[in-house]
Amino acid sequence: MDVSAKGLRVLVTAGGAGIGRVIAKTFLEHGARVQVCDVDEKALASLPKEIFGLKADVANLSDVDKLFEEVKKNLGGLDVLVNNAGIAGPTGKVEDIDPKDWDRCIAVDVNGMFYCTRKGMPMIKAAGGGSIINLSSAAGRLAFPMRTPYSFAKFGVVGFTESLAAEAGPDKVRVNCIQPGVVEGDRIERVIAAKSQRLGISFDEVKAKMLEGVSMRTTVSPQDIANTALFLATEGGKHISGQAISVCGGTRYLV
């Protein structure tokens, strides 16, 4: 199967660290030219020199405008947009959530995806078609107690994806989303720690409860997510659109 990304011009939001960084490096390793943005300047500075980086917050319209000017300058166009940027949001019962924390979660996880897509879609259409890959979550198909802002956002990503796929399909733009399960890394460690504190049980107990809901009793890696994104954007995924693809080890419920 051909998973070459040679010649593809790719933008990965929040590509400085975590899943986004691995996605960006995977596309680069398979021949793509890659631009990323991130709010973390140190993370951007540590990227391979072949990857173009810009400090930008996807929830800020002027930052997004600057980002797409950089994409035009550095890549000369766009074939693949990976809307990876997202934050975990607050942990707590809905009546205890600060509206400012709710608003920030929605601003990054939902509004930021829209801001980037509205700028990226015309460029992908101008290229003759391409691929948009949105990051949802297992929390976008399953209930996630005490994480309502995040779950609300990630369910929204699925609706956005399916509607865009129907809208942009005639222009040869494929739109899919990936729904990761429990992904290894700093973010899930912070989520587990916050839930541990809220529930008054140990970190290890929370993690064990999380994995009880996974058929394979395993976390997934950022590379698993990157491999799926690469597949969707290249020859093997050329007829896949409008799908929410779970990469989760068979997650059946979240705690």
Quick check: is 150 catalytic? yes
Question: Of 27, 115, 150, 160, which is the active-site residue?
Answer: 150
> DSSP letters along the chain, please?
-----TT-EEEETT-SSHHHHHHHHHHHHTT-EEEEEES-HHHHHTS-TTSEEEE--TT-HHHHHHHHHHHHHHHSS-SEEEE--------S-GGG--HHHHHHHHIIIIIHHHHHHHHHHHHHHHTT-EEEEEE--GGGTS--TT-HHHHHHHHHHHHHHHHHHHHHGGGTEEEEEEEE-SB-SHHHHHHHHHHHHHHTS-HHHHHHHHHHTBTT---B-HHHHHHHHHHHHSGGGTT--S-EEEESSSB----
- Report, as residue numbers or ranges, the catalytic residues: 150
